[in-house]
């Protein structure tokens, strides 16, 4: 059974068409990247899948059951998780406690007022931290961590709800290239092991082409290409409207770097 089916999603903001007939599928265990220039409609598409935005028309099906129109929390309950930045209020808590809080929330446990999540789901939290390579840092406050390590904790938190599908909208924004490919490596390994489908966006084309099983190219709300990395790389329209632009952008960045 196909994990995710997105069929004919349309979304308009006033005069802007942010999504036009967006249609694609994602299999369990696969990494699917959505790329496209700024304003192409990537976040709009993510938010329609995650329930943050209601499409004007079209449908989102998770394991053949419709989830479009449900509230974000209900979409999450059905098995669509996403990475969120750790809230400022939680940075004083330890790494493990942050993951324990996510597990408590997922399992619907209510803590007595003022209690801390010291023991509940501790071993499950440590297992998730092991998965993302952060177990040794379990008892450090999050505020002490390097940025790339915080991102790995955010991934462990997203995994606490055992999602079938994980949405990652620019997960590596602001990260150094090495940390970036590390995070994508870990994500790809976990996706394959646990048969989680991952839908992600990413500005770094090297990271996209290295980690995606399939790539969708979105331009002005429309999918202009959908295929394996090699197919997308060779697609004439993609080269023309998108990778061409990116080539120019990369060249300008490189020039600024040298100046």
13 binds ligand ADP (CB under 6 A): yes
- How far apart (Å, rounded) are the C-alpha atoms in residues 222 and 22? 6
Diameter of the chain measured on Cα atoms: 60
H helix intervals, 107-218 = 122-131, 147-159, 177-194, 205-211
N- to C-terminal Cα separation, the chain = 53
CA 150, CA 132: separation in Å to the nearest integer?
A: 11
Residue 115 gets the label, from left (phi > 0), alpha (psi -120 to 50) or beta, of beta
155, 187 Cβ separation under 8 angstroms:
yes
The helix (H) or strand (E) run that includes residue 255 is helix 244-258
Asked if residue 112 binds ligand ADP (CB under 6 A), the reply is no
- Of residues 15 through 54, those in contact with Mg ion by CB under 5 A are 42-43
| Residue 47 or 98 with smaller CB distance to ligand ADP | 47
Q: Nearest residue by C-beta to Mg ion? A: 43
> Which of 30, 35, 44, 151 touches ligand ADP by CB under 6 A?
44
Residue 181 interface partner, choices Mg ion, ligand ADP, none, CB cut-off 5-8 Å depending on type: none
Among 24, 36, 168, 200, binds ligand ADP (CB under 6 A): 36
Q: Which is nearer to Mg ion, 58 or 171 (CB)?
A: 171
Cβ 17 to ligand ADP shortest distance, Å: 8
Count of residues interacting with ligand ADP (CB under 6 A): 11
Contacting residue, 4, 18, 199, 217, with ligand ADP by CB under 6 A: 18
Q: Minimum CB separation from Mg ion for residue 237, in Å?
A: 22
Q: What φ, ψ does residue 240 adopt, rounded to 5°? A: -65, -55
Q: Footprint of ligand ADP on this chain (CB under 6 A)?
A: 13, 16, 18, 36, 38-44
Q: Footprint of Mg ion on this chain (CB under 5 A)?
A: 42-43
């Amino acid at each position: 059974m196909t994990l995710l089916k997105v069929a004919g999603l349309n979304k308009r903001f006033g005069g802007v068409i942010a999504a036009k007939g967006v249609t694609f599928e994602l299999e369990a265990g696969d990494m699917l990247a959505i790329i496209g220039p700024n304003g192409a409609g990537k976040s709009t598409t993510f938010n329609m899948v995650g329930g943050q935005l209601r499409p004007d028309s079209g449908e989102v099906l998770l394991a053949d059951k419709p989830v479009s129109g449900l509230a974000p929390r209900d979409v999450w309950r059905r098995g669509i998780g996403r990475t969120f930045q750790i809230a400022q209020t939680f940075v004083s808590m330890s790494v493990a406690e942050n993951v324990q809080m996510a597990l408590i929330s997922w399992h619907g446990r209510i803590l007595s007022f003022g209690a801390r999540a010291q023991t509940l789901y501790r071993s499950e939290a440590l297992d998730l931290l092991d998965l993302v390579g952060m177990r040794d840092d379990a008892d450090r406050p999050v505020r002490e961590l390097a940025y790339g390590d915080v991102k790995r904790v955010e991934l462990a938190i997203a995994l606490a709800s055992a999602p079938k599908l994980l949405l990652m909208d620019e997960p590596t924004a602001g990260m150094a290239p090495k940390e970036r490919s590390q995070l994508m490596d870990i994500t790809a390994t976990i996706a394959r092991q646990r048969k989680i489908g991952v839908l992600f966006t990413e500005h770094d084309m090297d990271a996209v082409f290295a980690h995606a099983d399939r790539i969708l190219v979105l331009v002005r709300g429309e999918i202009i290409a959908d295929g394996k990395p090699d197919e997308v790389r060779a697609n004439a329209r993609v080269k023309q409207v998108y990778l061409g632009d990116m080539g120019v952008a990369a060249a300008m960045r490189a020039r600024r770097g040298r100046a």
